[in-house]
A and B are shown apart, each in its own frame.
Chain A
Amino acid sequence: MDPTRELLDQTLLKIAIASYVTGALTLVAYFLARRPALRAIGLPLAVLGGGVQLVELAVRWWMTGVWPLTNLYGSLSLFSACGALIFAFFAYRYDLALAGGPVLSVCAIALSYATIWNEGTMPAVPALQSYWIKIHVPIVIAAYASFMVAFCVSLLYLFKDAVERRYGTRPPVVRGAAAAAGGSAAGITVSAYAVQPTLTTIGTGTPARRPGETALSDAAAAGDPIAQWLAGLPSLGRLDVMQYRIIAVGLPLLSLGIITGAMWAKEAWGAYWQWDPKETAALVSWIVYAAYMHLHTRPDWKGRRTAWIGVLGFATIVFCYLGVNIWISGLHSYKM
């Protein structure tokens, strides 16, 4: 690339990293302080970062004529962009901005790590010279990014669940004025941080509440500032649904990615399944998320256990994406 083009490429890259870092800090502050202004700043930064990165990849393609997703740098760039944009979609659609800190932090780390593998522009090796690369790779990367966002929601779930359980084991608190007015006793959510509206507020019922949830509400009503802060986080039921919805985006994408990969493999290597480490690692991830979907239908598994499966699933994704590419040699070892 000539210096002017490289400057443009680097500038876009820096804007993207700056957007992710600033967005992550802003949304961590929003998580802590719940000031709507912070959310209003953080979410557009996620969109900006993701958008700029897509532009950077497009510019790279336009300038060099080489599809930018033939190496780890390109794929990690797309991973960050997809992660930020999928998060932004869910944040706007389902009010998930509280998970933005970890999501954008992962995007920033992934993009920074990607620059280590940026060896400039290289033509694709023969195996990658196929139209399938324009179909298979973006689908798989979007699936990985979905699972990353779901993983961050799982962490939020497990955090809230742990705190609720801690409150559940504490001795009962003396309730304050709000409870005395009958709110908590009647099962209506009472919280100074009632950011997430519950069905109760519009006159509909909600699923039975857990002991920890009740204890947390009681502590919040009694004026415990930490409990009031925690009570403002989305309910565990809501976080569980969020995680499910994001995995419901990722799993079909991963399935489609494996299927298109198999179609490509048939064209390139002669067999749709070669037991290559990458495809078998993707199969492991698929099995874990398929197990998640099955267990999510079971009331005794839904919640904390499925959240842990979400964490395990993302661990298999990291292994499949980076571990296999970097440490295990196979047909998919396209590091540079």
Chain B
Amino acid sequence: MAARSGITVIAGVRTGLRDAWDEAVRLFANVTFGVSLLAVWALLTLIGVVIDQGKDASFYANAYAPPIARLIARLDLWNVYHSPGYIAIIGMILLSMTAATFTKVIPRRIPRLSPVKIEAIPLHAFVRAAGEPDAVRERIAAFFAARGWNIRKRAFGGDEWTFADKNNWARRGVLVAHVGFVLIAAGTTVYWATGYSGTFAVVSGQTAAIPQNGASVELRRFGYRIDPIRTKAGIVYQPIDYVSEAVVTGRDGVPRAETIRVNHPINVDGTLVYQATYGFAIDFRLTHDGRLVAGGPTRPLMEGDAFPIPGTTRAIQYQRFVGTIDRATGTIGPDPRPNDPGVVIAAFDGDRPIGNALVPLGRRIALGAGYALEPARYTLYSGFEYRHDPGIPLVGLGAFVLLAGLCISLYFLPARLFVVVRPLAAGASEIGVAATTVRGYDVFEDRFRELVEALRRETPEPATEGAAPRLVAGV
């Protein structure tokens, strides 16, 4: 008894699960539901465009009113694209596409060859033709076949029907587009699972390594070209070229001279290295009562680097390099090239900013309590990005397939013509033609009109009264 009730319960659970599964598949395969997911995706993406992404909390506190800043923090709107919600939406869209593909797109076969009520189909026409039905039927079949229609004939209840199909293969366009999406998602997943990326900067004359593959990049020289261009608004200093001359050593241990430019990455053992940025590293001399401080900076600092002042709670940050200081005003000039260079430094007491200053290179600035700082000289450094992405071939293939699917769906309209020829009088027949397409009737109206006009032109009219085509008003 207990065993039987257990079986009943299991069967009930199974039925319930199957019903829930069917309901879920129906929901996810629903076009309106899929489009709703697309709408949410678009909205979240738009939020990410409007709100700066990846900044720290103080940025939002300064940039937005307090309630909005709080909202951004609470809803993780500062990191929309990597939030669980965003990834979940993309996952649900993929599920929706999969459900629609398996329940709607793949099962959608070519419609059965069966007779229709010609006048019940909005796109229809009746044309009178000279000749017995069999002869007219042959002419009609030849007419449509000559225009690329695939002809099949079937007899139903004494009437012989001619079915003409075009672009039936294009019914698979949506499937192809969906497959493209899945391939892109697969390629992205491959990168997440096995790829890596990162950035590094190298001061001229020094070497840096890519930790994931052990390759090393020694920067021999970094060069840039910035030209002053006269425009209607005044002089603009336009960057023209950034070039890193480097020696790269890969897995084989053989050093190779390489030139790395923007848009021209180099390949080191399957990892691409890109020219990303550049800057001016500064040798700072920290002194106390005129003597060099042992705990001061020991290497050239890059923009954003900071160092503590030994024995105090204070720190100095090198904020940015200034190419040209206007000597007359002591302010920052527009020319970024190092004509009369200086640096902007900021002082902090703990985390609290206590001031900043523009200091010309080679000049000393007093920091108080006997300390002084001198930005002594600059050295160019080059910033690189590296990326190993084994998913790229899949993503590329997916993009191609997606585009192909779009073009198939949009430019090849699967259509079917239903043609029936019936005797009208001796030596006269009436041709009934109706058309259906996968995209409704309006989209085929022009083409159908052209076909009917051509049919009328090429079909000899019966030499009897009432040879004019029958006017039909539609449904």
- Residues of chain A touching chain B, judged by Cβ–Cβ distance below 8 Å, are 94, 118-120, 122-123, 125-127, 129-130, 132, 186-188, 197, 199-200, 202-208, 237-238, 240-241, 244-245, 248, 251-252, 255-256, 259, 262-263, 266-272, 275, 277, 280-281, 283-284, 287-288, 290-291, 293-299, 302, 316, 324, 328, 336
Most chain A beta-carbon neighbours within 10 Å: one of B49, B242, B410: B49
In the complex, what distance in Å separates the CA atom of A207 from the CA atom of B442?
8
Residue in chain A with minimal CB distance to B404? A252
B399 contact from A259, A290, A293, Cβ within 8 A: A259
Residues in chain B near residue A245, CB distance under 8 A: 443
Tell whether A202 pairs with B474 under 8 Å between CB atoms, given A256-B403, A295-B35: no
CB of B410 within 8 A of CB of A252, answer yes
CB of B439 within 8 A of CB of A297, answer yes
Residues in chain A near residue B328, CB distance under 8 A: none
CB of B262 within 8 A of CB of A127, answer yes
Interface size class for chain B?
Answer: 35 or more
CB of B125 within 8 A of CB of A202, answer yes
In the complex, what distance in Å separates the CA atom of A141 from the CA atom of B263?
22
Which B residues from 33 to 82 make CB contacts under 8 A with A?
34-35, 38-39, 41-42, 45-46, 48-50, 53, 81
Most chain B beta-carbon neighbours within 10 Å: one of A237, A291, A316: A291
Can you pick out 10 interface pairs between chain A and chain B where the beta carbons lie within 8 Å of each other?
A: A120-B230, A126-B242, A202-B453, A266-B392, A270-B274, A275-B81, A280-B45, A280-B48, A296-B439, A298-B31
Tell me if B232 is interfacial: C-beta within 8 Å of chain A.
Answer: yes
10 tightest Cβ-Cβ pairs between the two chains A and B = A205-B474, A187-B473, A126-B262, A119-B231, A204-B125, A203-B469, A237-B442, A270-B385, A287-B42, A248-B410
Tell me if B126 is interfacial: C-beta within 8 Å of chain A.
Answer: yes
CB of B448 within 8 A of CB of A204, answer yes
In the complex, what distance in Å separates the CA atom of A312 from the CA atom of B229?
40
In the complex, what distance in Å separates the CA atom of A299 from the CA atom of B403?
25
Tell me if B377 is interfacial: C-beta within 8 Å of chain A.
Answer: no
In the complex, what distance in Å separates the CA atom of A297 from the CA atom of B177?
16
Residue in chain A with minimal CB distance to B188? A273
Residues in chain A near residue B81, CB distance under 8 A: 275, 280
A299 contact from B49, B440, B446, Cβ within 8 A: B440
B387 contact from A208, A255, A271, Cβ within 8 A: A271
CB of A122 within 8 A of CB of B229, answer yes
Residues in chain A near residue B410, CB distance under 8 A: 248, 251-252, 293
CB of A206 within 8 A of CB of B474, answer yes
Residues in chain B near residue A126, CB distance under 8 A: 239-242, 261-263
Residues in chain B near residue A129, CB distance under 8 A: 241, 262-263
CB of A200 within 8 A of CB of B38, answer no
- Interface stretch, picked from B3-11, B115-123, B139-147, B314-322, is B115-123
In the complex, what distance in Å separates the CA atom of A309 from the CA atom of B50?
21
The total number of A-B Cβ pairs within 8 Å is 195
In the complex, what distance in Å separates the CA atom of A294 from the CA atom of B410?
11
Closest-CB distance, B303 to chain A (whole angstroms): 18
Residue in chain A with minimal CB distance to B409? A293
Most chain A beta-carbon neighbours within 10 Å: one of B50, B227, B474: B474
Tell me if B276 is interfacial: C-beta within 8 Å of chain A.
Answer: yes
Residues in chain B near residue A297, CB distance under 8 A: 31, 439
A270 contact from B39, B121, B272, Cβ within 8 A: B272
CB of B240 within 8 A of CB of A290, answer no
Tell whether A127 pairs with B233 under 8 Å between CB atoms, given A240-B442, A266-B392: no
Closest-CB distance, A329 to chain B (whole angstroms): 9
Closest-CB distance, A294 to chain B (whole angstroms): 5
Residues in chain A near residue B472, CB distance under 8 A: 200, 203-205
Tell me if B415 is interfacial: C-beta within 8 Å of chain A.
Answer: no
Residue in chain B with minimal CB distance to A263? B396
CB of B35 within 8 A of CB of A294, answer yes
Residues in chain A near residue B242, CB distance under 8 A: 126
A284 contact from B49, B122, B241, B389, Cβ within 8 A: B49
Closest-CB distance, A267 to chain B (whole angstroms): 6
CB of A206 within 8 A of CB of B126, answer no
A118-B232, A206-B441 given; name 6 further pairs at CB < 8 Å.
A187-B474, A205-B474, A266-B392, A280-B48, A293-B410, A328-B50
CB of B227 within 8 A of CB of A255, answer no
Tell me if B265 is interfacial: C-beta within 8 Å of chain A.
Answer: yes
Residues in chain A near residue B124, CB distance under 8 A: 204-205
In the complex, what distance in Å separates the CA atom of A183 from the CA atom of B446?
23
Most chain A beta-carbon neighbours within 10 Å: one of B41, B46, B386: B46
Tell me if B306 is interfacial: C-beta within 8 Å of chain A.
Answer: no
Tell me if B156 is interfacial: C-beta within 8 Å of chain A.
Answer: no
Tell me if B475 is interfacial: C-beta within 8 Å of chain A.
Answer: yes
Residue in chain A with minimal CB distance to B225? A126
Residues in chain B near residue A94, CB distance under 8 A: 446
CB of A207 within 8 A of CB of B441, answer yes
Residue in chain B with minimal CB distance to A283? B45
CB of A122 within 8 A of CB of B231, answer yes
CB of A203 within 8 A of CB of B470, answer yes
Residues in chain A near residue B395, CB distance under 8 A: 272
Closest-CB distance, A269 to chain B (whole angstroms): 7
Closest-CB distance, A193 to chain B (whole angstroms): 19
CB of A324 within 8 A of CB of B49, answer yes
Residues in chain B near residue A199, CB distance under 8 A: 123, 125, 445, 448-449, 474
Which B residues from 227 to 283 make CB contacts under 8 A with A?
227, 229-233, 236, 238-242, 261-265, 272, 274, 276
In the complex, what distance in Å separates the CA atom of A267 from the CA atom of B229?
27
Tell me if B332 is interfacial: C-beta within 8 Å of chain A.
Answer: no
Residues in chain A near residue B240, CB distance under 8 A: 123, 125-126
CB of B31 within 8 A of CB of A122, answer no
Tell me if B407 is interfacial: C-beta within 8 Å of chain A.
Answer: yes
Residues in chain A near residue B197, CB distance under 8 A: 270-271
Most chain A beta-carbon neighbours within 10 Å: one of B42, B125, B233, B264: B42
Residues in chain A near residue B50, CB distance under 8 A: 328
Tell me if B32 is interfacial: C-beta within 8 Å of chain A.
Answer: yes
Tell me if B155 is interfacial: C-beta within 8 Å of chain A.
Answer: no
Tell me if B1 is interfacial: C-beta within 8 Å of chain A.
Answer: no
Residues in chain A near residue B34, CB distance under 8 A: 294
